[in-house]
Structure formats: structure tokens, C-alpha cells
Chain A
Amino acid sequence: MNIQDILSKAAGVPLEALRALILAGVKASPDLAPQAEALLKWMDSAATPEALIELASTILAEANDIAKGKIAPKDHPSDAA
């Protein structure tokens, strides 16, 4: 499973429609081509079990830091959703 699969299932949009939507955006605004290329590459990246386990351990460690009052903010555009 990759990120594209997750997004496709969540949004209910077929994989090809999702890609076509992004490419249509590029056609309308060619300046977005580099960003769109990065987006498509990211969507193809794999969500492997090993990566998920590593992420879970990272999150637990960060939760421990927060409980101790150690705050380390990062900028994530998905937090604006």
C-alpha cells in the first residue's frame, strides 16, 4: 500500500482520477508543475509496516517529551485541514 492508495480510499476517488485532477491543475497553471511532480512522487511512496512501526515509536517518544514539557513545533500544512 502507498500513500496514493490511502488517499484514494479516504476520498473515494479512483486512483487515475486523483492523478488526472492534479495534472489538470498543472495544465491550468504550469507554474505548479515542479510542485505537482513532487506531489505525485510523494503519493507513490510506500507506507510499509516497518515505517509505520518506526513512526509509532517516534510518536510515543514525542508524547513522552510533551508530557515533560518539551515542546518542539514543526510546520505541517495538513494541520490546517
Chain B
Amino acid sequence: MKKVFFSALLALAVSTVAYAEPVLKAYAGVNGVWLDSPIALHLPADFELGGNVRASLSPHISGVGAAYYGLNHSYLRGSGGVRFTVTDAANADLSMGLGIQYHFASEPSIRPEEWAPDVSIGWRPSPVNAPKLVVIGQAAYGLDSGRVTTIAGVRYQIWEGGVR
């Protein structure tokens, strides 16, 4: 399964020729993580450092992937899948997406390896002064474990590719 995702991401990368909006973007990120519970008003169970990549293929369809290291529980986890933007595709500062990703991890007891549909929001709070800074939130439901994992964090764009 992992090979399928890596192959798909590689195919997306190779297929990126040149477009006005970059097809590929990479972000460095930090997350607060709530494991097996909604955010409610509890402190995060863990904090993660890592990065995300996305390949925007159409106004509503993107391939997405992530790799993060959990600082408290010392795990490495990754994910890859597809996301559909369900809000105004012309709004580059605020959006919500629905999608599904396959998750894999060095410690499956903490971050189970499974498919998980997710809902994600992204908000660029200062498009003029800090256009590369994005605030995110995401809730994912593990299809095998039944766990709801929620993250909230910030991203900073570090790379883009496939620009015309």
C-alpha cells in the first residue's frame, strides 16, 4: 500500500510541467495532536514536527502527503491521499477540504496504519504580510481503529515547483 502512494506521488511530481499556480508546494509544520479524542478543551497529547506536500491538479482536487515526528511519544508517521476542496475554489486564503489518506507509522499502537477520511481547514491569516503562513486544523476518522485524531497547527511554505 505504501508503494502505491509513493508511486502516485512520484507520478504527480513527474507530471508537473509548468502552470501559473505551482502544482507542487511543500510546507514545514508543527502540530498539536489530540489522539483518539476530539479537541474538546484538553491539552494536546503530543506535538509533532515535520512537513507536508501537496499537488494541486484541478481547482477542487489535490494529492496530499505528510511526514511528522511525534515529540512526546517518539514516533514517525506519514500519510498520503487525495483531498477535495468543498469551499470556494477561488478563495486562496480560506478553504475546507474533504479527503481520504492512508496513514502509516513507526508506532502503530499510537498512530494506527489505516485508511482515514478527513476534514481539513486552512486559513491564511495575513495574506499580505505573511502569505506563506497557514493555520490549519484537521480531524481524521480511522476506518479500522474507529479513532478520531485531531490536529491543529501552523505551516510555512518552504518550496514550490511546476511554475510557468
- A residues adjacent to B (C-beta < 8 A): 3, 6-7, 10-13, 17, 31-32, 35, 38-39, 42, 47, 52, 55, 58-59, 62-63, 65-66, 69, 71-81
Which A residue sits closest to B140, measured CB to CB? A10
Task: Please determine whether B125 and A72 come into contact, CB atoms closer than 8 angstroms.
Answer: no
Q: Is the CB of B122 within 8 A of A80?
A: yes
> Are A39 and B94 within 8 A (Cβ)?
yes
Q: Which residue of B lies closest to A69 (CB)?
A: B15
- Give the interface SS of chain A, mostly helix, strand, loop or mixed: helix
Question: CB-nearest residue of chain A relative to B141?
Answer: A10
In the bound complex, do residue B121 and residue A38 qualify as a contact, i.e. CB atoms below 8 Å apart? no
B45 at the interface (CB under 8 A from A): no
* Residue numbers in B under 8 Å from A62 (CB-CB): 57-61
Given known A-B contacts A3-B87, A7-B119, A66-B57, A76 and B139 have beta carbons under 8 A apart: no
Given A11-B38, A38-B94, A39-B94, is A78 in contact with B122 using a C-beta cutoff of 8 Å? yes
CB-contact partner of A11 in B16, B20, B39, B125, under 8 A: B39
Interface centre among B59, B64, B136 (most CB of A within 10 A): B59
- In the assembled complex, the Cα of A31 lies from the Cα of B92 at a distance in Å of 19
CB–CB B85/A74 < 8 A: yes
Q: A73 and B21: CB pair below 8 A? A: yes
**How far apart sit A32 and B93, CA to CA, in the bound complex (Å)?**
13
B19 & A71 in contact (Cβ 8 Å cutoff): yes
Supply 10 A–B pairs (Cβ within 8 Å), ascending by A: A10-B139, A12-B40, A13-B39, A42-B87, A55-B86, A59-B61, A79-B56, A79-B97, A81-B97, A81-B136
B59 to nearest A CB, angstroms? Answer: 5
Size bin of chain B's contact surface: 35 or more
Q: Are B126 and A79 in contact (CB under 8 A)?
A: no
B17 CB to nearest A CB, Å: 8
**Docked CA distance A3–B97 (Å):** 11
Q: Which residues of A contact B84 (CB under 8 A)?
A: 55, 59
A-B interface, 9 closest residue pairs, ranked by CB to CB distance from nearest: A12-B38, A77-B122, A78-B122, A62-B58, A81-B120, A73-B56, A10-B139, A81-B136, A79-B54
- Is B122 touching A79 in the complex (CB atoms < 8 A)? yes
Contact A35 B125 (CB under 8 A): yes
Which single member of A12, A55, A69 contacts B60 (CB below 8 Å)? A55
